Amino acid sequence: MSGRKRTLEAFSFEFVMTVIAIIALIIIIAPSLVVLIVSFTSGFSLRFPPPGYSLRWYAELWNAWQLHFAAKNSLIVALWATGLSVVLGVAAALAISRSPRLSARLLDSLFMSPLVLPALAFGLAALMLFSLVGLPVSPLTLVIGHTVVCVPYVVRNTVAALAQLEPTLLESSAVLGASRIYTFRRIVLPLIRPGIIAGAFIAFMSSFDNVPVSLFLRDAATDMLPIRMWQDLEGKLDVTIAALSGVLIIATVALVAVMERVTGLSRRLTN
């Protein structure tokens, strides 16, 4: 009697948890699927389901030079910001990982703080500083601002990769007479490379998608893709944006698949 009650009780728990989990997974995935489907509409509205299917809005996208221009700017800024983040971030990660010093802990908190502080407040602050020292907003100020908010991802992933490194490997290498630089190049770097790549990938994606910092630090001539899309959406609901969203979703899925192969991204973010 009580045994049956127990199984019923266990079943009710597992049932409720599984149902909520599946609903939650559907809520997570549904928006992307909806946009993908709507982007192939043959109509002029974002009605779902679409009245028919065509590639017309993707063809339209081909001629949307404003979006091309904005995408090019976003890409260039993201590449520079990622490059700068990797150079500065990996060096800093080498210094602060494994160090028991208080200064290392403090620097770690400092380098991570852009992740929690409102980026919009930082954007405004950076704009005020640049205008105080007479540096006009330009692609350069954009790269600087983006680097500040993207470098935490590189530092965090590199520190995590270094933490997994066996110290005995470095000691053996030193005992066998290898110089520190040689050890770094031949042992440390190959082992932490997936971590660096994962960090750089997330930094790149977050720079490409950044709005709050770009809003303050871009000049009038430098249109950025997410801002262009945001402003288009504030005005009217354009189906071209759905096609662009489709392109971005497919590109993201493809990049994530590649990154999963190269760096084991999913394990990296749950350990």
**Minimum distance from CB of 221 to other proteins (Å)?**
17
**Minimum distance from CB of 173 to other proteins (Å)?**
8
Which residue in 42, 54, 66, 103 binds other proteins (CB under 8 A)? Answer: 103
Site for other proteins in 65-84 (CB under 8 A): none
Site for other proteins in 166-205 (CB under 8 A): 167, 170-171, 173-174, 180, 183, 202, 205
Asked if 194 and 268 touch (Cβ cutoff 8 Å), the reply is yes
Residues 199-238 vs other proteins: string with x where CB under 8 A?
---x--x--xx-xx--xx---------x--xx--xx--x-
**Minimum distance from CB of 15 to other proteins (Å)?**
10
**Minimum distance from CB of 17 to other proteins (Å)?**
5
How many residues touch other proteins (CB under 8 A)? Answer: 102
- Three-state DSSP state, 245: helix
Told to check if 254 binds other proteins by CB under 8 A, we report no
Closest CA to 40 of 62, 60, 57, 61: 57
Q: Which is nearer to other proteins, 1 or 132 (CB)?
A: 132
Q: Which is nearer to other proteins, 54 or 131 (CB)?
A: 131
Residues 114-143 vs other proteins: string with x where CB under 8 A?
xxxxxxxxx-xxx-xx--x-----------
Give the whole-angstrom CA distance, residue 66 versus residue 123: 24
Give the whole-angstrom CA distance, residue 150 versus residue 122: 13
Q: Which residues of 100-126 are buried (b: 16+ CB within 10 A; e: fewer)?
A: eeeeeeebbeebbebeeeebeebbbeb
Classify residue 58 by burial, with Cβ atoms within 10 Å: 0-12, 13-18, 19+.
middle
- Three-state DSSP state, 53: strand
Told to check if 262 binds other proteins by CB under 8 A, we report no
Told to check if 52 binds other proteins by CB under 8 A, we report no
Q: Which is nearer to other proteins, 48 or 55 (CB)?
A: 48
Asked if 212 and 221 touch (Cβ cutoff 8 Å), the reply is no
The partner residues of 41 in beta bridges, in order of sequence, read 53
